Amino acid sequence: MTRFMALLCLVLAALPWRAQADSLRATGDLGVVVERASGALLIIDQSDHAAIGRVEGLGDLSHASVVFSPDERFAYVFGRDGGLSKVDLLTQSVAGRVLQSGNAIGGAISDDGRLVAVSNYEPGGVRVFDAGTLKMVADIPTGSKTIGLVDAPGRRFVFTLWDAGETWIADFSKGEAAVTPPKITRVQGIGRNPYDALITADGRRYIAGLFGEDGLTALDLWQQPPIPRRILAGYGRGEEPLPVYKMPHLEGWALAGERFVLPAVGRHEVLWIDSRSLEEVGRTRTHGQPVFAVARPDGQQVWVNFAHPLNDTVEVIDTPSGEVIHRLTPGPAVLHMEFTPRGHEVWVSVRDAGRIDIYDTHSFEKLGEVAAQNPSGIFFTARAHRTGL
Amino acid sequence: MTRFMALLCLVLAALPWRAQADSLRATGDLGVVVERASGALLIIDQSDHAAIGRVEGLGDLSHASVVFSPDERFAYVFGRDGGLSKVDLLTQSVAGRVLQSGNAIGGAISDDGRLVAVSNYEPGGVRVFDAGTLKMVADIPTGSKTIGLVDAPGRRFVFTLWDAGETWIADFSKGEAAVTPPKITRVQGIGRNPYDALITADGRRYIAGLFGEDGLTALDLWQQPPIPRRILAGYGRGEEPLPVYKMPHLEGWALAGERFVLPAVGRHEVLWIDSRSLEEVGRTRTHGQPVFAVARPDGQQVWVNFAHPLNDTVEVIDTPSGEVIHRLTPGPAVLHMEFTPRGHEVWVSVRDAGRIDIYDTHSFEKLGEVAAQNPSGIFFTARAHRTGL
């Protein structure tokens, strides 16, 4: 019996240690892939080039987007069905879920990580939730479909009204969100039917694309109140010579050197925009109608994917020369590209091949692949530390 | 006995689960504070405004700096005594340590997180280590004290030779570092006695400060090979009307809107530099000789601390106007300031008060404090995702 007890003590002593060593995992190099068809997130490890788990039961994930908590532990998933899910990347489980509206598009997390906002079509408006509990702390009806929701510095959310052509800035910097309503600044005259918007990485410029007329509208959020400025008058649907298969995404209007790059609407081109004047300074001819034109974090390259039926291809543009320097064909339906935070790799979702491809962005060598079920958006946790992503 | 065994089973079943729940911790909001006098790192949690542990035995930490692994789990600490320590933030222990030279200054981690480089005074040169094992994989003697070591995109390290006035670019992109020596590009004509250098956040511009003559030297790393360009001819020791108490740090030459901000040498001023032309476009008068002038991540503010004997004060400059809009006096010997990654807070080390102060950067309200032993540098894990930090 004494020997049995001694053995038992050894077992008891060893167990917590083993469990601890097994369960320790840092979160800075994790990410998620949206598996739209199955309503699931695949959890990925960037360093290991591997999937490490799957979390299901997240509802309709068409056009889903994801933001992360500041500790890079929780992914907030915004579903098309109005579902807001909080997924724990460490326990690989759903930590919370609310069905907050009938039809939603996108969301954002405040700079302090305390508030999560969702943009709704039905009913129109923005709802804001406590990031810890998912309890609603503010309801901002707008009487309009709401699009282009982003976070801005100073615990603010910025979003735009499709029907009214207004941009609203909701400032939560004073008091507790559940008690003190946000201060709302309404900026009129944004234009007819804004369909998407972005904020630059420094949180200064908010730019809305227009469906109902040509051009884009820029706001300088350092101005109080911001004065809308129409830019790129020729940009839009109005004069396109080609049918528009898909309105391009405005997300990721990243700075490439001294210029922004923007997918043209309905043309086989990307546009280069001077980052100061916001005027067009050049175009690059591309393989197809661009969907995403994303700058590598250092800005020296821009990677572009394309609308159906040319969506098996990705082109790489060299920023200094504006030339296409590389073309690859990962496979059918390339839907999204995500760079590692310092840009040494890009992960590419190839939906109809059921694969994520991983490329070295300097040699263009394929480094690996990860199986996924109809993957669309890829989101690395490093987004937690960025504004407007 | 049966009841004893049943109880035992319950205990056994419960233990692993409890250990797991206790030990789960994400790493995106962690950080470390250098406690120079005790050769220790204080581990801090940004979300909780708290210290969560201390790791000792790290040697001489005067002028120590820290970089992080891509998963934000490990801190690599570069000590003045040539010690390179790898600290595990999850187990709060030293995961590895080598005394790699007699006298070192600073280090960097490659964009893929696989290589850690250290800059040495004695013997002069750069040594490169496997980030996993801390085994040396490359030794690059330079015959000179080596300063201004930074990482650049494409698995490169850039550093400068104090004696020879040269900048070297070591390119590790081809092959395994332990087998294939790096490709070295030597750029001559940097100037007399470069004492520190920086790389801009996009990894494009490398700028060295000169001790032996006025001005700074800029390289455009998009050029092959880069051609040195002398900028800010009046900048330096040569004409200063005041004794120089401390050469300013060049780290954190962050973009504030369309300008960089730079601490003047020996003057109570910061300089504004146009980010395109690299020419001076203005100055702001400050309380003392600036040591760090650091832009909030959105660039709308610059926070400045000062050299002895005026080092109890911090000033906040509004970028658009160039005016000092706020002054605070945290206490004796304000040595460093670190912003949370999206800029809503700044953490300030007040060495002689044994405290880290936490401020809201929008209201300037003090949010909290954390006790620390003679704190100097503060480093949040979000640096893992940035170039050149």
What mean pLDDT do residues A377-386 have?
Answer: 97
pLDDT category of residue A20 using cuts at 50, 70 and 90: very low
Is A202 within 8 Å of B111 when comparing Cβ atoms? no
What pLDDT, on the 0 to 100 scale, is given for residue A249? 67
pTM over 0.90: yes
Instruction: Reply yes or no on whether the pLDDT at B284 is more than 90.
Output: yes
ipTM of the complex: 0.92
* pLDDT, tens digit, 9 for 90 and up, residues B35-81: 999 999 999 999 999 999 999 999 999 889 999 999 999 999 999 99
Nearest residue on chain B to A298, alpha-carbon basis: B202
Give B3's pLDDT tier (boundaries 50, 70, 90).
Answer: low
Q: pLDDT tens, A43-63?
A: 999 999 999 999 999 999 988
| B112 contacts on A by Cβ (under 8 Å) | 342, 344-345
pLDDT in tens, B91-137: 999 999 999 888 888 999 999 999 999 999 888 999 999 999 999 99
The residue among A12, A202, A296, A386 with the most chain B CBs within 10 A of its CB, best to mutate, is A202
Count of CB contacts below 8 A, A vs B? 189
Query: In this complex, do A24 and B342 lie within 8 Å of one another by their Cβ atoms?
Result: no
Say which of B27, B345, B387 has its CB closest to residue A27: B27
Q: Are residues A16 and B11, on separate chains, in Cβ contact within 8 Å?
A: no
Distance CA B320, CA A202 (A): 14
The average pLDDT across A180-193 equals 96
- Chain A neighbors of B368, CB-CB under 8 A: none
Task: Find residue A317's DSSP bridge partners.
Answer: A302, A324
pLDDT score of A173: 95
> Which of B29, B111, B222 shows the shortest C-beta gap to A71?
B29
Q: Does A109 touch chain B (CB under 8 A)?
A: no
Say yes or no for a CB contact (<8 Å) between A344 and B154: yes
Q: What is the pLDDT of residues A135-158, one digit of tens each?
A: 999 999 999 999 999 999 999 999
Q: What is the pLDDT of residues A70-103, one digit of tens each?
A: 999 999 999 999 999 999 999 999 999 999 888 8
Residues in chain A: 389
Contact (CB, 8 A) for B383 and B32: no
Interface of A with B in 304-323 (CB under 8 A): 320
Lowest mean pLDDT among A232-236, A359-363, B141-145: A232-236
Round the average pLDDT of chain B to a whole number and report it: 90
H-state helical runs in chain B: 2-23
Determine, for residues A26 and B27 on separate chains, whether the beta-carbon distance falls below 8 Å: yes
Whether residue B342 and residue A385 make contact (CB cut-off 8 A), yes or no, is: yes
Taking the Cβ of residue B85 and every Cβ of chain A, the question of whether any pair is shorter than 8 Å is answered with no
The gap from C-alpha A13 to its chain's centroid, in whole angstroms, comes to 45
Q: Which of B17, B28, B202 sits opposite A384 (nearest CB)?
A: B28
Interchain CB contact of A220 with B (< 8 Å)? no
- Domains defined for chain B, CATH in brackets: 48-234 (2.130.10.10), 247-389 (2.130.10.10)
* pLDDT value of position B121: 87
Q: Is the pLDDT of residue A12 over 60?
A: no
pLDDT tens figures, B185-241: 999 999 999 988 999 989 999 999 888 888 899 999 999 999 999 999 878 765 544
**A12-21, B26-35, B297-306, B369-378: least confident range:** A12-21
- Rounded mean pLDDT of A353-359? 98
Q: Best mutation site among B48, B69, B385, B387 for testing chain A: the one with the most A CBs within 10 Å?
A: B385
